[in-house]
């Protein structure tokens, strides 16, 4: 079929009638499919059932350093857990604190700590007239929710195929002392799946912030979440680059095993400079007596080392990869020639970013919901949930079964087609 934009009004009206019937047909199937979040599937979670056998009542609960992991202590995490997470994050164990189960929790606390107590002795943000945060878009909705909750002004930064628009980043960071941070998902970015280039990472490391308390919030959530052997994205290590550039304190790096073992039951870590970690430790000494060392010990004994973790991730990829390929195949077959949408084709991560014709995303998501397919809300990948083009939709293919995903894609494609025709025809008179 020829591109919709090349069709006459009469052809579009005929097509609208056909698509409306198809839409009513799928609505009548009574589907109830939820693709709103990037959740591991039941098959992925079942794969890890033996994880719970790692520790049992007769186990040795002592760490390598002789710490009884059933008791209080070890504020920064047991040594072997710090080593495992350091290897995952490509840093030194001395640069790591292992926290609880969620890197989002660490990020929230890091922002909150800055608001209430400042950053390494700087003025607490709550005492400032204005605090600004840079937000590469499309991006992770929960990042934006954190900064919105604390009343910060969020500034959209376009995300290109190699990373954020660094000309804009440098302009804001180097000249405006109110700019205190930038959110980054640098590898297999949520939702676009792109990975920052070496040049972009080096430009980040060589920023000259107008604010002494500016920090890069480097959420490397998908660092080992590859889909294909031989196509693994390589990401330059940001802490090392910041040291080389004379900016060792400029970055907070976050990571977790939430989509490696179990969401809600993984372990999460922060990597940062000696100065940053000293300040964090001073605060969390009052906040906690220690995190879940039994879970830390369980992870170490289950994986043994980073090689064991990477081998485990290949099992995840074998389950997830066909789902990504199904989405891409359906979109290419059904939409490519029509020129009514574009999409990313990532080599890792958990999402595919779809862009409809401008002004159609909310309509598509709403129609999908009415037909029984729940997607992430349109605009969620932008601060304040305001997509200026109303075109971006995040597709999360991991949770449904292949059969369910195929049904959801059938609905999605019909909705994209119908919303596009309606847009091209314009409002009814």
Alpha carbons 36 and 395: distance in angstroms, whole number: 8
Q: Looking at residue 48, what is its pLDDT?
A: 87
Residue range(s) in the chain whose domain bears CATH number 3.40.640.10: 61-303
Structure confidence by residue, pLDDT tens digits, 324-334: 999 999 999 99
Q: Looking at residue 220, what is its pLDDT?
A: 96
Structure confidence by residue, pLDDT tens digits, 153-167: 999 999 999 999 999
Q: Is the pLDDT of residue 316 over 50?
A: yes
Q: Looking at residue 57, what is its pLDDT?
A: 92
CATH code for residues 61-303: 3.40.640.10
In this prediction, residues 21-37 reach a mean pLDDT of 94
Write out the two tokens for 276: 């940053």
Residues 176-199: b if buried by 16+ CB within 10 A, e if exposed: bebbbbbbbbbbbbbbbbbbbbee
- Local confidence band at 1 (pLDDT 50, 70, 90 cut-offs): confident
Sign of CA dihedral 205, 210, 214, 220: negative
Stretch among 23-37, 110-124, 346-360 having the lowest mean pLDDT: 23-37
Structure confidence by residue, pLDDT tens digits, 125-143: 999 999 999 999 999 999 9
Best CA proximity match to 26, nearest among 373, 306, 295: 373
Stretch among 54-58, 254-258, 408-412 having the lowest mean pLDDT: 54-58
User: What is the side-by-side order of every strand in the sheet holding 153-160?
Assistant: 96-98, 268-271, 251-256, 215-219, 179-184, 132-137, 153-160, 163-164
User: CB under 8 Å to 243, separation ≥6 — which residues?
Assistant: none
Instruction: Kindly report the pTM of this predicted structure.
Output: 0.96
Q: Looking at residue 172, what is its pLDDT?
A: 98
Q: Looking at residue 62, what is its pLDDT?
A: 96
Checking DSSP bridges between strand 33-35 and strand 153-160, what pairing results, if any?
A: unpaired
Write out the two tokens for 218: 């480097």
264 or 266, which is more confident: 266
CATH code for residues 4-45+310-425: 3.90.1150.10
- Other CB atoms within 10 A of residue 248 CB: 18
Q: Is the pLDDT of residue 70 over 70?
A: yes
264 or 381, which is more confident: 381
Mean pLDDT, all residues of the chain: 97
Q: Is the pLDDT of residue 428 over 90?
A: no
Angle between helices 293-303 and 79-89 (to 10 degrees): 60
Q: Is the pLDDT of residue 429 over 70?
A: no
Residue range(s) in the chain whose domain bears CATH number 3.90.1150.10: 4-45+310-425
Alpha carbons 70 and 52: distance in angstroms, whole number: 16
């Amino acid at each position: 079929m020829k591109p919709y934009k090349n069709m006459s009004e009469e052809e579009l009206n005929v097509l609208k009638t056909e698509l409306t019937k198809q839409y009513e047909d799928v609505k009548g199937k009574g589907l109830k499919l939820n693709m709103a979040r990037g959740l591991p599937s039941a098959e992925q979670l079942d794969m890890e059932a033996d994880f719970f056998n790692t520790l049992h009542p007769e186990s040795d609960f002592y760490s390598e350093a002789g710490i009884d992991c059933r008791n209080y202590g070890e504020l920064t995490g047991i040594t072997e857990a710090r080593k495992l997470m350091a290897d995952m994050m490509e840093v030194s164990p001395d640069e790591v604190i292992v926290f609880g189960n969620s890197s989002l929790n660490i990020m929230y606390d890091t922002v909150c700590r800055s608001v209430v107590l400042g950053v390494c002795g700087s003025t607490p943000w709550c005492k400032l007239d204005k605090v600004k945060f840079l937000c590469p878009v499309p991006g992770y909705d929960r990042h934006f929710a954190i900064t919105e909750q604390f009343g910060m002004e969020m500034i959209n930064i376009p995300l290109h195929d190699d990373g954020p628009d660094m000309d804009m980043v440098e302009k804001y960071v180097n000249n405006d002392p109110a700019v205190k941070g930038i959110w980054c998902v640098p590898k297999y970015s949520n939702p676009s799946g792109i990975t920052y280039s070496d040049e972009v990472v080096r430009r980040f490391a060589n920023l000259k912030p107008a604010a002494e308390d500016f920090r890069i919030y480097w959420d490397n959530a998908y660092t080992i979440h590859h889909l294909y052997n031989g196509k693994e994205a390589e990401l330059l290590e940001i802490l090392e680059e910041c040291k080389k550039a004379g900016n060792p304190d400029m970055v907070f790096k976050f990571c977790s095993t939430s989509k490696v073992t179990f969401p809600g039951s993984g372990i999460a870590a922060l990597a940062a400079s000696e100065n940053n970690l000293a300040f964090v430790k001073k605060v969390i000494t009052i906040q906690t007596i220690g995190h879940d060392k039994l879970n830390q010990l369980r992870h170490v004994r289950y994986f043994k080392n980073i090689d064991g973790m990477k081998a485990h991730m290949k099992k995840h990829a074998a389950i997830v990869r066909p789902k990504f390929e199904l989405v891409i195949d359906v979109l290419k077959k059904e939409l490519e020639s029509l020129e009514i949408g574009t999409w990313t084709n990532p080599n890792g991560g958990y999402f595919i970013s779809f862009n409809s014709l401008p002004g159609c995303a909310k309509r598509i998501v709403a129609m999908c919901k009415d037909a029984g397919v729940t997607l992430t809300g349109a605009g969620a990948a932008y601060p304040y949930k305001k997509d200026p083009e109303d075109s971006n939709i995040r597709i999360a293919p991991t949770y449904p079964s292949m059969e369910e995903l195929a049904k959801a894609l059938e609905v999605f494609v019909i909705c994209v087609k119908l919303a596009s025709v309606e847009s091209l025809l314009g409002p009814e008179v």
